[in-house]
Amino acid sequence: MALATRTDRRPSLARTVWDSTVGKKTVMAVSGFVMLLYLVAHMIGNLKIFFGPEEINHYAHWLRTVGEPFMHYEWTLWLIRVVLVVAVVAHATSAYQLSRRDIRARPTKYANRKAGRSFATRTMRWGGVILGLFIVWHILDLTTGTVHPGGYEHLHPYQNIIDTFSTWYGNVVYIVAVVALGFHVRHGLWSAAQTLGVGSRSRDRALKTVANVLALLLTAGFVAVPVGVMTGVVS
Amino acid sequence: MRLTLRVWRQKNADADGAMSTYEVDGISRDMSFLEMLDTLNEELILKGEDPVAFDHDCREGICGACSLVINGDAHGPERTTTCQLHMRSFRDGDTIDIEPWRASAFPVVKDLVVDRSAFDRIIQAGGYITAPTGAAPEAHAAPVPKPDADLAFEHAECIGCGACVAACPNGAAMLFTSAKVNHLNVLPQGAPERETRVLDMVGQMDEEGFGGCTLAGECATACPKGIPLMSITSMNKEWLRATRKAGRR
Amino acid sequence: MTTYADYTTGDPVADTKAPSGPVNERWDTRRFEAKLVNPANRRKQTVIVVGTGLAGGSAGATLAEQGYRVVQFCYQDSPRRAHSIAAQGGINAAKNYRNDGDSVHRLFYDTVKGGDFRSRESNVHRLAQISVEIIDQCVAQGVPFAREYGGLLDTRSFGGVQVSRTFYARGQTGQQLLLGAYQALSRQIAAGNIEMHPRTEMLDLVVVDGRARGIVARDLITGKIDTYFADAVVLATGGYGNVFYLSTNAMNSNATAVWRAHRRGAWFANPCFTQIHPTCIPRTGDHQSKLTLMSESLRNDGRIWVPKAKGDDRPPNEIPEGERDYYLERIYPSFGNLVPRDIASRAAKNVCDEGRGVGPGGQGVYLDFADAIERMGRKAVEAKYGNLFDMYQRITDEDPYRVPMRIYPAVHYTMGGLWVDYDLQTTVPGLFAIGEANFSDHGANRLGASALMQGLADGYFVLPATINDYLARNPHKDEVDDDHPAVQEVVAETEDRLNLLLSVDGDRTPDSFHRELGELMWEFCGMARTDSGLRKALERIPQIREEFWRRIKVPGTGEEFNQSLEKANRVVDYLELAELMCLDALHRSESCGGHFREESQTPDGEAARRDDEFGYAAAWEFTGTGDAPTLHKEDLVFEYVHPTQRSYA
C-alpha cells in the first residue's frame, strides 16, 4: 500500500526565496553583484579626475544624457539610481534579517573563543554597516551637496571632489569606507559565487584570485582620488 | 598527567548551567578523551556526586554520538571525533574547557548532552530515496559512473554528529544538510525526487531555527569526516535549480 | 542442594514452521502458506520494534510500508546511530557478477560449513536466496557501494572465501547500509506511519495470556517509565558481546531486552557461541573502555609473528629474522596468515600464554607489513590499507609503516541469541527476534560480511513476510491497558528494580562490577574453555551478583537523565546472562566454531566436533535467577551439506 509522504502544495517562487535562508542569501548575492558592477563603473569614472576638470565635468553631464534621444534628460540616471536603491535596500534588509536569525541561532558563546576565520569574513556585518552609513554621507556630500564642506556646485564634480578631500575628515571617512569596501568585496564576491552555486573545487582558486584582484583594484582606484588631491596631483 | 577540567554542568534543559572545575590525576597519554572523562566520573560517583553526562556510543569514530567542544573547538584540537582524540594531544598541567554543542536548535539536555533531533527531522523532510522494499530493480540496471559514485560516497560519509553546527558562528546546519542532498542528488536513483528533496530539506532546516550560512568555513574545518565546504555550494546550486523549476510549474 | 550447573533436560524443541521439501523451495512454500492480513486491516494492528540497527531499521520501514502501525524504540539519541554503523568489511551476496562460480547454493554451502554445522539448513538457504535482493534494494535506496569504472558494482573476496561476493563501500559498508535503512525509516516517520521513540530503553516485556503484547520502557531523558502495547513485538536489539566488558561493541549495546524476554519465557539458544575477532587493537591499560577492530583484510598482506624467546622485550625492528616465529605460517603452512578467525585468535592466545606476547601486558602479537611494503611498495600498501593504518596510528601513536602493528583478539559478535523458529518467532507467541538478537543463521561461527546480510534479510524480507501469518491468525481483538494485572506486575517489578539500584548506596560503581565480570568471562569463557574454568566461573558469578546488590552505588534519582542508572541496570542482566553462557559452554563439551573446549581437540590441536552427541542447538528455558535452567535440544538435520571436520593444516 503506497502512502503519500508529501504534499504537493508549494508556496510561490517569491515566497520560497524570501522565506528561505538560502533564498535571502541569493537576494544578497544578486543585489551585491549589481552594486559591484556599478562600483566598477563608478571607479573608472572617478579616475577621469586625473585628466582635468573638463573631462570629468563633461562625464558628469554625459551621465545625464545617456540614452537620448530615446530617454529624456536624466531618465537613465534615475533608472540606475532606482535600481541601486532597490539593490541596497534588498541587500541590507536581507543582511539584517539573516544576522538577527544567526545571532538567535547561536545565543551562547563558548568560554574558550577561537579566532579562526579570516578578517574579511568576520567583518562582513560591521563592514556592511560602515558602508551603509558611508553611502548616506557620500550622497549628502557629493550628490545633493547638503553636507558639502565648500560651496557645492551642481555638475562640477571636479571642484566638489577637491573640496571634500581638502578636509581631514573627508579623507578619513572616505578611505576607511573604501578599505572596508575592499574587504567586503573580497569575501562577498567569493561568497556570492558559492551562494549562486557557480563555485567548484576546480574553480575555487581562480574565483578567490578574481575576488582578491577585484577588491584590490577597486580599493586602489577609489583611494587614488583622495590621495591625488592630498598630494596635489589633482588641484 | 594531571589536568584541570572546566566542565559545563547543567542539571536539565530548564536549569541554568555553569562551568565547574575538577582536578584529575593519573591520566595516561594513551587514554582517549572519553576514557579520561570516565575516570573523572568514577571518582565523582564514589564521592556521591553527579557524574558528568555526555553522549558516546561506538567509540570508534563512526556513530556520531560524541559531541564535546574542547577548548573552543568542536571535537577538540585534532580533526577527528571526540572519542578518537587521545590525551597525548594535551600536556601535563593543562586546563581544558569542555562544553556542549552550542546552538539554539540543539538545546542542552543535561551537562554536555544536547538534543540533535532537528537533524532527524531534516532527513525526514526528504533525505531519502523513495524505494519501498521489494520494488527495487536489479542492482546493475542503472550503472553509476565511478566519479559520481565516489562523490556520492564522499558526502554520504557524514556521521550526523553536529560538529558543523557547533563550530558555525551562526549555528547553521548547511554542511549537514548539503551532505545528504548531494549524496542523493548526484545518483541516478535520487533524480526523480531531486527538486523536492532539496527544497523540503532546506525548508525544514530553516524551520528548526538554524542560522544562515556566511561561508565562514568553520564547519568544514571542524568536520571529522572531511565533508568539503564546496558541498554547500553544490546544494545552493541544487536549490536554485529546484526553485526555478518549481516556479515554472 | 542443586546448583546452577545441575540443569535438567526438557522436551526437545522442533522448528515447526519450516516447510519440508527441497531446500530451495522452502521459502516460497512458507510464503505461500502464510496467511495474509487484509491491507485495510493492517492500520489497526500495531507492531513494536525495539532497535534501529540494520535489522530493526529495515523491519520498521518495511512493516510501515506494508501499512502496519509501527512503534519503534532506540536508546540512542537518533535511530541513525545503532552499532551496525561500525561494520567495516562488506556484505555478501550470491550475485555471481564475477562469473567466478558463485551461486546461491555455494553461499548456502559456505555458510553452513563456516558455521561448523550448528545452524539450520532451511534458514541458511533462505538467507543465501535473499542475499541477492538485498543488494538490489540497497542500490535503489542510494547506498553508494564501490563501483568499477564501467559504472557497475565492485566486489571483493573476504574472509578466506574463494569467490568474490562481498559488496562494500570503502571501509564503511555498515554505515552506508544503516543510513539506507535509517532513511527509509525516516520517510515512514515523516509519513506518520512510525511513531519513533529515541532515547527510550526497553526494560521489560509485557506478556498477557501467553502472548507478547507490549513493552515497558524508560524515557532516558525524564526517567519516566511507560508502557507501550501492540499486537506483536519485534526485538532487534543486537548481540550480547558486552558481557565481556571489553569488546568491539558500542559502549551502550546491551542485553537487557533479550534477557528480559528470556525471563518472560523466550528460550535462549547457544549462548556460548561467541566470535572472537583476531585483528583488534590491543588494550593499553586498565582505563580501556572498549576495543577497536581493524578489518581482517589486513591479514591478506601482513605477516603475524612473535619473538621465539619468552620475555624478549627488544623493539620489534631489532629482533633478527631468525629469532622471529611466524607461527601461523609455521603451524598452518597451506593457509598461513589467512586461517579462519577462530583459529587465528586461538593461536595468538596460545603464544601469549606461553609468555611470548608483545606490547603492554604481553597481550599482543605483531602484524608486520615490512615484507608487503618491500614487495608492493609503500604507495600500494597505502592505497590498500591507508585508512586502517591511519586509524591504528591515531589510537596507538605508532607508525605502522615503520613499526609492526600490534594486534590481539577481541569479542566481536555473538552467534547465540533468542531461539526462533523459521518465522523468526520466539517461544513466546507474538515475540519475534531478528538480526544478531536471534540465534538462527550462523551456527557456531559467523563468516565475514555475513552479519550485515542477515540483519537486512531478516528486516527487509523475512520478518515482514512471516509476521503477517501471526497477525492474521491472531487478529486484533482484546485491548490491553495499564490496569491489566499482568501489566501492573511487570511495571512494578521494573520500578522496584530501579529503586533498589538507587537505594543500595554502596561503595562500588556499575563499571567496576562490569569490568570484574568481563575479566572473569574473558578468562574462563573466552577463546578457550575448560570444564574446571567454567565451573570456577559458575561459582564466582553468583558471588559477584550478591556483592553487586550489596555494594552498588548509583548516584542521582530515577526521575532524570541518569547514565549510571542505565549502566547499573544493564549490568544486572549481564550478571545473569553470563551464568547461562558459562553453563552452555560447560554442557557443550565438544569444540565447534567459536566455542573451543580444550578437552575436545584433535591431536594437532584443532577443534574436535562431536556431531553424534552435540549435533543440536541448545535452547535454554529460564526457571528463576540462579536456578538451574531447562535445556531443550533442537536436532539439526543436514540433508544437503554433509558434516566434515574442518582442516586448515
Convert the pLDDT of each residue in C476-532 to its tens digit: 677 899 999 999 999 999 999 999 999 999 999 999 999 999 999 999 999 999 999
Reply yes or no on whether the pLDDT at A7 is more than 60.
Answer: no
Q: What is the pLDDT of residue A9?
A: 64
Is B214 within 8 Å of A17 when comparing Cβ atoms?
Answer: no
C509 and C606 fall within a common domain? yes
Q: Is A7 contained in some domain?
A: no
The C-alpha atoms of residue A49 and residue A229 are separated, in whole angstroms, by: 10
The C-alpha atoms of residue B34 and residue B96 are separated, in whole angstroms, by: 13
Reply yes or no on whether the pLDDT at C149 is more than 50.
Answer: yes
**φ and ψ at residue B8, rounded to 5 degrees:** -70, 120
> Smallest CA–CA separation between B230 and chain A, in Å?
6
What is the span of the domain harbouring residue C318? 277-411
Is C67 within 8 Å of A4 when comparing Cβ atoms?
Answer: no
Distance (Å) of CA C362 to CA B153, C304, C366, C612: 40, 15, 11, 39
Determine the 3-state secondary structure of A132 from DSSP.
helix
Domain ranges of chain B: 3-110, 117-248
> Smallest CA–CA separation between B128 and chain C, in Å?
5
The C-alpha atoms of residue C97 and residue C147 are separated, in whole angstroms, by: 12
> Smallest CA–CA separation between B85 and chain C, in Å?
8
Among C411, C444, C472, the domain boundary falls at: C411
Cell 558516546 locates to: B56
Q: Please, is C477 exposed, middle or buried when counting C-beta atoms within 10 Å of its C-beta (0-12, 13-18, 19+)?
A: exposed
Q: What is the pLDDT of residue A8?
A: 58
On chain C, the residues whose CB falls within 8 A of the CB of A5 are 187-188, 190-191
Q: Number of Cβ pairs closer than 8 Å across A and B?
A: 143
Q: Is A200 contained in some domain?
A: yes
Determine the 3-state secondary structure of A192 from DSSP.
helix
Q: Which of A5, A6, A7 is the best mutation test for C, with the most CBs of C within 10 A?
A: A5
Residue A106 contacts B, CB cutoff 8 Å: yes
Number of independent structural domains in chain C: 2
Is A117 within 8 Å of B215 when comparing Cβ atoms?
Answer: no
The C-alpha atoms of residue B91 and residue A76 are separated, in whole angstroms, by: 67
Q: What is the pLDDT of residue A118?
A: 61
* Contact assessment for residue C583 and residue C5, using Cβ atoms and an 8 Å cutoff: yes
Residue B16 contacts C, CB cutoff 8 Å: no
Nearest to C425 by CA among C462, C480, C472, C475: C462
Q: Is A5 contained in some domain?
A: no
In chain C, % of residues over pLDDT 90: 88
Q: What is the pLDDT of residue A47?
A: 96
Determine the 3-state secondary structure of A203 from DSSP.
coil
User: How confident is the model over B155-173, as pLDDT tens digits?
Assistant: 999 999 999 999 999 999 9
Is A1 within 8 Å of C67 when comparing Cβ atoms?
Answer: yes
Is B133 within 8 Å of C137 when comparing Cβ atoms?
Answer: yes
Q: For residue C285, what pLDDT band results from cuts at 50, 70 and 90?
A: confident
DSSP letters of A59-81?
HHHHHHHTTTTTSPTTHHHHHHH
Show Cβ contacts of residue C339 under 8 Å, excluding neighbours closer than 6 positions. C160, C328, C332, C347, C648
Reply yes or no on whether the pLDDT at A4 is more than 60.
Answer: no
Distance (Å) of CA C547 to CA B112, C379, C509, C510, C527: 32, 55, 12, 12, 27
The set of cell numbers assigned to C441 is 543463521
Number of residues written out for chain C? 649
Average pLDDT over residues B46-55: 96
Q: Is C570 contained in some domain?
A: yes
Is C182 within 8 Å of B109 when comparing Cβ atoms?
Answer: no
Q: What is the CATH number of the domain that holds C526?
A: 1.20.58.100
Reply yes or no on whether the pLDDT at A5 is more than 50.
Answer: no
Reply yes or no on whether the pLDDT at A203 is more than 70.
Answer: yes
> Smallest CA–CA separation between A136 and chain B, in Å?
25
Q: What is the pLDDT of residue A3?
A: 43
Active-site position among C303, C341, C346, C529: C341
* Contact assessment for residue B188 and residue B144, using Cβ atoms and an 8 Å cutoff: yes
Is C183 within 8 Å of B127 when comparing Cβ atoms?
Answer: yes
Topology, domain B117-248: Fumarate Reductase Iron-sulfur Protein; Chain B, domain 2 (1.10.1060)
Reply yes or no on whether the pLDDT at C618 is more than 90.
Answer: yes
On chain C, the residues whose CB falls within 8 A of the CB of A1 are 39, 42, 65-67
The C-alpha atoms of residue B157 and residue B152 are separated, in whole angstroms, by: 9
Residue A202 contacts B, CB cutoff 8 Å: no
Write the residue in A13, A110, A193 that is nearest to B247 by C-beta: A13
Which other chains touch chain A, taking contact as 3+ CB pairs less than 8 Å apart? B, C
User: How confident is the model over B124-166, as pLDDT tens digits?
Assistant: 999 999 999 999 999 999 999 999 999 999 999 999 999 999 9
Is B130 within 8 Å of A26 when comparing Cβ atoms?
Answer: no
Reply yes or no on whether the pLDDT at C179 is more than 80.
Answer: yes
What is the span of the domain harbouring residue A86? 21-102+119-230
Q: What is the CATH number of the domain that holds C288?
A: 3.90.700.10
Is A5 within 8 Å of C191 when comparing Cβ atoms?
Answer: yes
Is C545 one of the annotated active-site residues of the chain? no
Show Cβ contacts of residue C281 under 8 Å, excluding neighbours closer than 6 positions. C291, C292, C293, C294, C392, C395, C396, C406, C407, C408
Q: What is the pLDDT of residue C209?
A: 93
Reply yes or no on whether the pLDDT at C319 is more than 60.
Answer: yes
Is B246 within 8 Å of A187 when comparing Cβ atoms?
Answer: no
Assign domain B3-110 to its CATH architecture.
Roll (3.10)
On chain B, the residues whose CB falls within 8 A of the CB of A122 are 216
Q: What is the pLDDT of residue B225?
A: 96
> Smallest CA–CA separation between B71 and chain A, in Å?
5
> Smallest CA–CA separation between A195 and chain B, in Å?
6
Q: Number of Cβ pairs closer than 8 Å across A and C?
A: 14
On chain A, the residues whose CB falls within 8 A of the CB of B206 are 19-21
Which other chains touch chain C, taking contact as 3+ CB pairs less than 8 Å apart? A, B
A-facing residues of B in 45-104 (CB < 8 A) are 69, 71-73, 97, 99, 102-104
User: How confident is the model over B92-106, as pLDDT tens digits?
Assistant: 999 999 999 999 999
Average pLDDT over residues B11-20: 96
Q: Please, is C473 exposed, middle or buried when counting C-beta atoms within 10 Å of its C-beta (0-12, 13-18, 19+)?
A: exposed
Average pLDDT over residues A11-15: 85
Q: For residue C53, what pLDDT band results from cuts at 50, 70 and 90?
A: very high
Reply yes or no on whether the pLDDT at A6 is more than 60.
Answer: no
User: How confident is the model over C403-416, as pLDDT tens digits?
Assistant: 999 999 999 999 99
Q: Is C247 contained in some domain?
A: no
Tell me which amino acid residue B237 is. K
In chain C, % of residues over pLDDT 70: 99
The set of cell numbers assigned to C187 is 520517510
Among C381, C411, C441, the domain boundary falls at: C411
Centre a 10 Å sphere on the Cβ of residue B142 and count the other Cβ atoms it contains.
Answer: 14
Is B28 within 8 Å of C85 when comparing Cβ atoms?
Answer: no
The C-alpha atoms of residue C92 and residue C96 are separated, in whole angstroms, by: 11
Write the residue in B202, B230, B247 that is nearest to A22 by C-beta: B202
Residue A198 contacts B, CB cutoff 8 Å: yes
Is C67 within 8 Å of A5 when comparing Cβ atoms?
Answer: no
Is C191 within 8 Å of A1 when comparing Cβ atoms?
Answer: no
Reply yes or no on whether the pLDDT at C62 is more than 80.
Answer: yes
On chain A, the residues whose CB falls within 8 A of the CB of C44 are none
In terms of pLDDT, which residue wins out, B225 or A119?
B225
On chain A, the residues whose CB falls within 8 A of the CB of B229 are 194
Q: For residue C295, what pLDDT band results from cuts at 50, 70 and 90?
A: confident
User: How confident is the model over A116-129, as pLDDT tens digits?
Assistant: 556 767 789 999 99
* Contact assessment for residue C128 and residue C121, using Cβ atoms and an 8 Å cutoff: no
Q: Is C515 contained in some domain?
A: yes
Determine the 3-state secondary structure of C614 from DSSP.
helix
Peptide bond into A69 cis (omega under 30): yes
Q: What is the pLDDT of residue A138?
A: 96
Centre a 10 Å sphere on the Cβ of residue C333 and count the other Cβ atoms it contains.
Answer: 9
Write the residue in B80, B110, B146 that is nearest to C149 by C-beta: B146
* Contact assessment for residue B133 and residue C464, using Cβ atoms and an 8 Å cutoff: yes
On chain B, the residues whose CB falls within 8 A of the CB of C176 are 153, 156
Q: Give the β-pairing of C365-368 and C303-307.
A: antiparallel
| Residue B240, H or E segment | helix B230-248
The C-alpha atoms of residue C347 and residue C527 are separated, in whole angstroms, by: 10
> Smallest CA–CA separation between C557 and chain B, in Å?
10
The C-alpha atoms of residue B233 and residue A193 are separated, in whole angstroms, by: 8
The CA R_g of chain A, rounded to the nearest whole Å, is 21
Q: Is C241 contained in some domain?
A: no
Is C80 within 8 Å of B64 when comparing Cβ atoms?
Answer: yes
The C-alpha atoms of residue A140 and residue C441 are separated, in whole angstroms, by: 83
Determine the 3-state secondary structure of A24 from DSSP.
helix
Reply yes or no on whether the pLDDT at A110 is more than 60.
Answer: yes
Q: Is C119 contained in some domain?
A: no
Q: What is the pLDDT of residue B9?
A: 98
On chain C, the residues whose CB falls within 8 A of the CB of B134 are 133, 137, 460-461
Average model confidence (pLDDT) across chain C: 95
Number of independent structural domains in chain A: 1
Q: For the complex shown, is ipTM > 0.90? A: yes
Q: What is the pLDDT of residue B248?
A: 66
HEC letters along C505-522: CCCECHHHHHHHHHHHHH
Q: Which of B170, B182, B227, B244 is the best mutation test for A, with the most CBs of A within 10 A?
A: B170
> Smallest CA–CA separation between A7 and chain B, in Å?
10
Reply yes or no on whether the pLDDT at C244 is more than 50.
Answer: yes
Distance (Å) of CA B215 to CA B166, B218, B242: 15, 8, 21
Q: For residue C1, what pLDDT band results from cuts at 50, 70 and 90?
A: low
In terms of pLDDT, which residue wins out, C574 or A13?
C574
User: How confident is the model over A204-234, as pLDDT tens digits?
Assistant: 999 999 999 999 999 999 999 999 999 999 8
